[in-house]
Amino acid sequence: MDAESLLLSLELASGSGQGLSPDRRASLLTSLTLVKRDYRYDRVLFWGRILGLVADYYIAQGLSEDQLAPRKTLYSLNCMEWSLLPPATEDMLLQTSVVKGRFMGDPSHEYEHTELQKMSEGEKVFEEEVVVQIKEETRLVSVIDQIDKAVAVIPRGALFKTPFGPIHVNRTFEGLSLSEAKKLSSYFHFREPVELKNKTLLEKADLDPSLDFMDSLEHDIPKGSWSIQMERGNALVVLRSLLWPGLTFFHAPRTKSYGSIYVGTGEKNIDLPFML
């Protein structure tokens, strides 16, 4: 959700119970403005909160002019002092995929993981148990990256591709119509398209190249990994990810207000097929 319209967005997203206490809100409003100034971001998004056992991580993201360019992620424990997280790499994903359980809330906390590694001494090849230490900060980075790639959502038409390539916020976006708002196909993954390139020409024929340059949600696997609800009559659409429970996306049809927030434990729900 946009840092500038944080209060309205929080109110809209409150149906899932994910809120912020008044002192957090006030401090976020203050500190995110400063973040925007200091880091020279075009836009600052309040990304959400990862619940730790001892403390919570508050996450914000800075966007540059090109909306789909790699984002900078910051975290804070007290909503005032923000620290920049390193960009996620493949290695980190691989490394942290072995860590399970809850976050502690201490960035310097080290998870210990024992794994078998093949050691070779001369001709002998034997396996040895090696204790690998994984910092929680690394895990935080990779989890945020995973969530962003899997379930960051944006309504169709909110961004548009300029002829020169960069993707900008669409100022003429007037919100989705009611009938569109009920369909998953009018929501896109807020990331570089992956599936789009694999589509056949026939499927691409109806797409508007200036708007449909991202993957839509409707082909997500497994089918049914989203819960889409109309709340308050039809005044509010709420999308909840079932794959990453805690991610809530809201959009008030026919208005510009939309956004998403993640409040959760930072764990993927791999039991999804059993639960549907």
Partner 1 sequence: MEDLESLKQEKENQEPGEAGRPWEEIAASSQDPESALSEPLESEQWPETGPQPRSSLPQSPLSRSSTPLDDLTGPGASSPPSPPQEDSSTPSTLALAGQELATPWQSDKTTVNVNPKAGTPRSHHLEQSSDKGESTAPQTCQSEGNTFQQSQQTKRLLYGPEDMSDNNSEQKELRFNVFQEEDSNSNYDLDHAEPGVSEVAPSLLEIAIQSAKAYLLKTSSKSGLNLYDHLSDMLTKVLDERPENAVDIIESISQDVKMAHFRKKLDTLQNENEMLPIYEIAEKQKALFLHGNLEGADQELEDEIAENSLPNVMESAFYFEQAGVGLGTDETYRVFLALKQLTDTHPIQRCRFWGKILGLEMNYIVAEVEFREGEDEEDIEDEDVTEERDDGDSEADENDEEELPRTFYKTPQPIPKEESRTGANKYVYFVCNEPGGPWVKLPSVTPAQIVIARKIKKFFTGHLETPIVSYPPFPGNESNYLRAQIARISAGTHVSPLGFYQFGEEEGEEEEEVEGRRDSFEENPDFEGIQVIDLVESLSNWVHHVQHILSQGRCNWFNPTQKSEEEEEEEDEEKEEEKGEEPDYMEQEVGPPLLTPISEDLDIQNIPPWTTRRSSNLIPQYAIAVLRSNLWPGAYAFSNGKKFENFYIGWGHKYSPDNYTPPALPPVYQEYPSGAEITEMDDPSVEEEQAFKAIQEKAAALPVEEMEETEEDEDEEDYDQE
Number of residues that bind partner 1 (CB under 8 A): 37
144 binding partner 1? (CB under 8 A) = no
The correct pick among 29, 51, 132, 169 for binding partner 1 (CB under 8 A) is 51
CB of 20 to partner 1, least distance (A): 5
φ and ψ of 149, to 5 deg: -75, -30
Residue 115, both tokens: 């794994």
State yes or no: cis peptide before 222, omega within 30 of 0: yes
Kindly write out the interface string for residues 60-99 of this chain, putting x where it contacts partner 1 by CB under 8 A and - elsewhere: ------------------x---------------------
Kindly write out the interface string for residues 155-194 of this chain, putting x where it contacts partner 1 by CB under 8 A and - elsewhere: ----------------------------------------
Residue 63, both tokens: 């966007």
The correct pick among 2, 5, 7, 16 for binding partner 1 (CB under 8 A) is 16
Neighbours of 109 (CB within 10 A): 16
Q: From CA 193, how far away is CA 196, in angstroms rounded? A: 6
Residue type, 202: L
Q: Given the complex with partner 1, which of 56 and 148 has the nearer CB atom?
A: 56
CB of 174 to partner 1, least distance (A): 17
Torsion angle defined by CA atoms of residues 35, 39, 42 and 43, in that order, rounded to the nearest 10 degrees: -30
Q: Given the complex with partner 1, which of 16 and 146 has the nearer CB atom?
A: 16
CB of 157 to partner 1, least distance (A): 20
φ and ψ of 134, to 5 deg: -120, 125
Name beta bridge partners: 169: 159
Name beta bridge partners: 262: 48, 247
Q: Given the complex with partner 1, which of 70 and 224 has the nearer CB atom?
A: 224
Give me the DSSP letters along 78-90.
SSSS-EEPPPP-H
Q: Given the complex with partner 1, which of 62 and 245 has the nearer CB atom?
A: 245
Residue 269, both tokens: 């729900």
Kindly write out the interface string for residues 216-255 of this chain, putting x where it contacts partner 1 by CB under 8 A and - elsewhere: --------x--x-xxxxxxx----x-x--x----------
Name beta bridge partners: 114: 131
270 binding partner 1? (CB under 8 A) = yes
In terms of DSSP bridges, do strands 187-189 and 167-169 run parallel, antiparallel, or are they unpaired?
unpaired
CB of 161 to partner 1, least distance (A): 27
29 binding partner 1? (CB under 8 A) = no
User: Please, what is the Cα angle at 273 between 270 and 274, to 5 degrees?
Assistant: 95
Q: Given the complex with partner 1, which of 89 and 234 has the nearer CB atom?
A: 234
The correct pick among 37, 102, 219, 254 for binding partner 1 (CB under 8 A) is 102
CB of 236 to partner 1, least distance (A): 10
- Counting beta carbons within 10 angstroms of the beta carbon of residue 198, is it exposed (0 to 12), middle (13 to 18) or buried (19 or more)? exposed
Contact residues toward partner 1 (CB under 8 A) are: 11, 14-17, 19-24, 51, 53-54, 78, 100-102, 224, 227, 229-235, 240, 242, 245, 264-265, 270-271, 274-276
